[in-house]
Structure formats: structure tokens, C-alpha cells
Amino acid sequence: MQSLLYPRFTFIYAILSILVIVADVMDLTWTYYLTKPMVLLLLFFFYRIQTGAVENKTFRNLMLTGFIFSALGDALLMFVEMGQQYFIGGLVAFLIAHICYTAGFINDIFRSRPWNQHWVQLALSTLVVVYGAEFYILNRFSFDSLAIPVMIYCAGITVMGVSAVMRDRTKNWSAYVTVCIGALFFIISDSLLATNMFVTKIPFAGELILSTYFLAQYLIGIGTLAKLKNQNLPLLGKAVTSET
């Protein structure tokens, strides 16, 4: 059996993520405040160290900027109960993060020029668009005064998901799949957050939102890092370049 790529980082990231979730469940306020932004900062510094000598600096910098704005969004959303402005600020921060991820994925698309899209990529992209549109349309009356900001955010994360799916799948299959799964988990996490805040309360919402969010960021980070360094991810198997 192949070993996990970056096992030490993965272990620390997982422990820190679990600590945040436990602090949230047990209402350990200061532990939660101190640890939540640290998860993305850990990812940022690890990514920066690992990508110091990569060729595609534009892609690297866009991803790093996305991690920073994600950490800022994490910090702002911690204070959402103190006022709506914190939620809007967090929404803007994460929207900028999604724009950075999208720009990075589009940069990757134009560098690789994968115009021979597989039908599965086209189908999955269509499903992401349909899901994003349907989620907003079905719940639009629940968003009240935030309907327009939420609509813009839904569009942003939908475009991010589509751009992740439309990247080149042939040069590093395991990294491609990892990033796609990460983007889908990001959509799931934000859907849970919006549903729990505006539509109906979800059992174990905090645990589900945080776990899917941290997993999404980890998979996007590790997957893009493996692509930049041209490494296969043992977790997802050997690289496959066929059309099947």
C-alpha cells in the first residue's frame, strides 16, 4: 500500500481541524477563536514552502491569496452573532477566495488547453450549474435582504466548481480528481451553512459544515500542490490518462 502524501502535514491539519470542531461543539469560545483561522494559515504556509521553486508562479500566488481570504472569512464568520456586517464581510472574503481559485483553475486550463473535454466533465459541470441555480431559486425568499449578496456568492462558487471540473484531467489524474472532490465539498459545506442559517436548522450543522469545509480546503490545496509539483496522490491511486 502506498503511503499518504505529506503525512506530517496531513496529521497536523487533521488534528487542528478536529480541535476546531470539538471547540465549537463544547462552546470553548477562546479555543475556537484561536484555532479556526489557524487551519487555513497552516495550509497557506505549508503551500508557500512547498511551492517556492515551481514554474507556474501565477497559479501558486492565486491559490495562496485564496487561502488568505479564506482565513479572513473564517475569522469574520466567527462573529456573525454580533451583527450582519460580519456575515457580509465573511461572504465577501470567501467570494474573493473563490475568484482566486477560479482564476487559478482558468490559468491552468489555458496553460494545458484541454479542449478535448470528456463527456463526464461536461455532465458534471452541467450538474454543478443546475444545482447552484436551483439551490438559489428554491430558497431565494428565505434570504430576505441578503438575497442579492447570496445570489452573487452562489454564482461565484458555482463558477469555481465548473472551472475545477473543466481542467485538464490527463496529465495528473489523481490530482485532478482530488481538486474536483474538494470543490464539490466546498459547495456542500456552503449549502449546509446557507440552509442552516436561512432555511431550516440542520442537526449537527456545526460539525457537518466545518468538517466538509476543512476537507474541501485540504483537497484543493493538496490536489493543486501535487499538480504544480507533478506528483501523483497515492490516496486516489495511480494516474490514469485514458478516456474511460
CA 209 to each of CA 30, 108, 129: distance values in angstroms, whole numbers, following the listed order: 19, 29, 21
- Cα–chain-centroid distance for residue 54? 22
Q: How many CB atoms lie within 10 A of CB 201?
A: 8
pLDDT at 1: 35
Angstrom CA distances, 131 to 40, 139, 211, stand at 27, 12, 21
Q: What is the pTM of this model?
A: 0.90
Residue 71 CA to residue 214 CA, distance in Å, equals 11
Cβ proximity of 65 and 41 under 8 Å: no
The pLDDT value given to residue 3: 57
Reduced to 3 DSSP states, what percent helix, strand and coil does the chain have, rounded to the nearest 5?
80, 0, 20
- For the chain, the maximum distance between any two Cα atoms, rounded to a whole number of angstroms, is 53
Q: H/E element holding 176? A: helix 173-194
- Quick: pLDDT tens for 139-172: 999 998 889 999 999 999 999 999 999 998 888 8
Q: How large a percentage of the chain has pLDDT more than 90?
A: 69
